[in-house]
């Protein structure tokens, strides 16, 4: 009995608490059952969900919970100081401290190995990465954590961006500080979206902390619908095609022909969408059952007619966060700013470390100085260049947010380049009606294939394997093997076809069947849920895989 209870309460790195495990749904049923007792009392409700969220995070990431608590406590008190400060300079200093602390913690856990390894390569030193948090714990609490290894806390990028938005929104006057640390802790750690988003801004979520619980019959049905939708996307589509085809090809692209590599790329484009949007669908559904609204994070992104539209439909909470807290402060499409050039300097330092050479930094710096001089001589050229620099810096930083590697720099840079090229193309494209069916179709086709092409670097383990995959597609493509490959992996190709077909269904069709389910009688909803769960878990062919964005 006691061993069973200890197993439930103890963190097991081999079995993290994720939406696709049965244990999570047992956990959620218990949470929801106790929630019915506390929801009428606002402070008790928020405190209860804060404690539940901390337990969820502990079961997902172990003692990394201490980092989450540190971010919560520090930004709670900094937020109060920002609000109480009377002088604008003092307010800016407190906002700066919040950004510095959050980015420092994120950089330490996410980029420590990157900086250390490349610093050693450039300066011929032999520094080693030390986990100072583990060292501190071992010294003061007599623990025995490894001090030579730093593990990335699950979801650190997501809750770091949330706490930064809280400080900035208070500074901008868009939100007032929360009344107590339990309310703020609930905002930061709300378990449905804690480890993989969507990123929830303070101005969107904090007002919900003080509203009474309310879930209509249709909202309850919608919550159930999103949970079913997310589980099907993750387990039936994403996991199955990954385990049975995509992972095999990406692990050794040179072992497979060009056709298989190309199909794996298209398959990964579907997988990453089904995996990530599946997570956020479940998160939105679980939150809705408890009376809270999370922002939409995906809107049929592969229907986009250009790269700009794609980034308005894909990972919408991150795209809008980068726009409002990075791109616009840089100057947006108006002009450049000190922030633009400081960001460019930081990116150049990153790239120099990746290249293990400061000659790369010097070369890029020389180009930047030349562009700056031309901008001073020709003001119209300066504005055009500044706005393009802002776009490129935003996308490069978005790439580095995912990880410090040439692959993510390439992926972010290609998407930035796509945005810049489309921005210029709009000025002289020959057709006047962008809504013509042929124009829309060609736009969707080009955008979809461009995004799929960039996934080579997003998914690839390193630059060499990414180039090997493209080389196989370009040099060893053989249509004659297609029937045999499709036959050998028939289930995978059927699922890919169905997945893309469902994605490209007209939006009004999707709204119609979603609305029908929400308004259906409870027995119909319950039956649909049971059948969906049975079908979903019957399709599991291997150990359940973590969600892709847990790594970020």
Q: How far is CA 396 from CA 41, 199, 363, 421, 443, in A?
A: 45, 19, 18, 16, 24
Secondary structure letter of residue 176 according to DSSP = P
- Tell me if 94 sits within 8 A of 81, measured CB to CB: yes
Residue 315 annotated among the catalytic residues of the structure? no
Q: How many alpha carbons fall within 13 Å on the CB side of residue 274?
A: 28
Cβ within 8 Å of residue 337, ≥6 positions away: 329, 330, 331
- Residue of 313, 460, 332 lying closest to 393 (CA atoms): 332
Phi, psi of 451 (to 5 degrees): -60, -40
CA distance 268 to 363: 36
- Tell me if 322 sits within 8 A of 394, measured CB to CB: yes
Q: How many alpha carbons fall within 13 Å on the CB side of residue 447?
A: 21
Measured at the alpha carbon of residue 223, what is the angle toward residues 164 and 294, in degrees to the nearest 5? 15
- Residue of 196, 179, 193 lying closest to 76 (CA atoms): 179
Q: How many alpha carbons fall within 13 Å on the CB side of residue 457?
A: 21
| Packing angle, helices 358-377 and 338-355, rounded to 10 | 150
CA distance 527 to 157: 38
- Tell me if 390 sits within 8 A of 333, measured CB to CB: yes
- Tell me if 103 sits within 8 A of 325, measured CB to CB: no
CA distance 465 to 459: 10
DSSP-assigned letters across all residues of 304-365: -SSHHHHHHHSSHHHHHHHIIIIIHHHTTTT---HHHHHHHHHHHHHHHHHHT-HHHHHHHH
Q: How far is CA 527 from CA 40, 164, 233, 521, 522, in A?
A: 30, 43, 19, 10, 8
Catalytic pick from 402, 436, 476, 503?
402
Tokens at residue 394, please? Answer: 């935003």
DSSP-assigned letters across all residues of 278-319: HHHHHHHHHHHHTT-------S-GGG-SSHHHHHHHSSHHHH
- Tell me if 285 sits within 8 A of 223, measured CB to CB: yes
Query: How many residues can be counted in the chain?
Result: 552
Which residues belong to the active site?
Answer: 402
């Amino acid at each position: 009995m006691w061993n069973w209870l200890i197993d439930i309460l103890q963190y097991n790195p081999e079995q993290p608490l994720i939406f696709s495990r049965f244990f999570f749904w047992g956990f959620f049923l218990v949470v929801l059952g106790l929630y019915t007792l506390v929801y009428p009392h606002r402070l008790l409700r928020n405190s209860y969900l804060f404690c539940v969220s901390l337990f969820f995070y502990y079961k997902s990431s172990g003692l990394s919970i201490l980092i989450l608590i540190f971010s919560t406590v520090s930004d709670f008190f900094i937020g109060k100081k920002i609000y109480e400060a009377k002088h604008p300079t003092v307010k800016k200093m407190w906002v700066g401290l919040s950004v510095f602390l959050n980015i420092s913690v994120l950089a330490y856990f996410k980029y420590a190995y990157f900086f250390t390894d490349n610093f050693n390569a450039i300066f011929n030193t032999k520094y080693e990465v030390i986990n100072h948090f583990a060292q501190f714990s071992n010294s003061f609490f007599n623990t025995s954590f490894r001090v030579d290894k730093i593990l990335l806390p699950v979801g650190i990028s997501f809750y770091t961006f949330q706490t930064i938005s809280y400080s900035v929104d208070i500074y901008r006057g868009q939100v007032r500080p929360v009344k107590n640390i339990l309310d703020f802790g609930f905002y930061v750690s709300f378990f449905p979206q804690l480890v993989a988003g969507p990123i929830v801004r303070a101005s969107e979520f904090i007002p919900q902390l003080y509203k009474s619980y309310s879930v209509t019959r249709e909202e309850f049905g919608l919550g159930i619908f999103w949970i079913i939708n997310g589980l099907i996307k993750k387990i039936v589509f994403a996991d199955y095609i990954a385990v049975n085809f995509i992972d095999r090809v990406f692990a050794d692209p040179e072992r497979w022909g060009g056709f298989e590599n190309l199909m794996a790329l298209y398959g990964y484009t579907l997988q990453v969408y089904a995996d990530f949007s599946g997570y956020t669908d479940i998160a939105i559904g679980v939150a809705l059952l408890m009376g809270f609204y999370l922002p939409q994070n995906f809107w049929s992104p592969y229907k986009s007619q250009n790269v700009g539209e794609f980034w308005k439909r894909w990972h919408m909470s991150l795209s809008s966060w980068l726009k409002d807290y990075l791109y616009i402060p840089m100057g947006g499409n108006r002009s450049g700013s000190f922030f633009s050039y400081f960001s460019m300097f930081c990116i150049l330092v990153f790239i120099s470390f990746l290249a293990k050479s400061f000659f790369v930094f010097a070369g890029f710096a020389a180009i930047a100085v030349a562009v700056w001089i031309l901008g001073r001589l020709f003001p119209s050229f300066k504005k055009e260049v500044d706005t393009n620099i802002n776009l490129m810096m935003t996308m490069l930083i978005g790439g580095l947010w995912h990880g410090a590697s040439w692959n993510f720099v390439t992926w972010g840079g290609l998407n930035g380049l796509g945005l810049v090229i489309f921005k210029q193309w709009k000025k002289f494209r020959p057709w006047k009606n962008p809504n013509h069916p042929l124009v829309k179709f060609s736009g969707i086709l080009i955008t979809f294939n461009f995004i799929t092409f960039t996934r080579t670097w997003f998914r690839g383990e390193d630059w060499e394997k990414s180039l090997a995959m493209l080389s196989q597609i370009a040099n060893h493509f053989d249509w004659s093997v297609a029937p045999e490959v499709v036959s050998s992996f028939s289930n995978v190709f059927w699922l890919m076809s169905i997945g893309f077909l469902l994605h490209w269904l007209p939006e009004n069709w999707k709204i119609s069947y979603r609305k029908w389910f929400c308004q259906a009688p409870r027995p119909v909803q319950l039956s649909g849920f049971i059948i969906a769960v049975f079908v979903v878990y019957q399709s599991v062919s291997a150990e359940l895989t973590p969600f892709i964005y847990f790594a970020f």
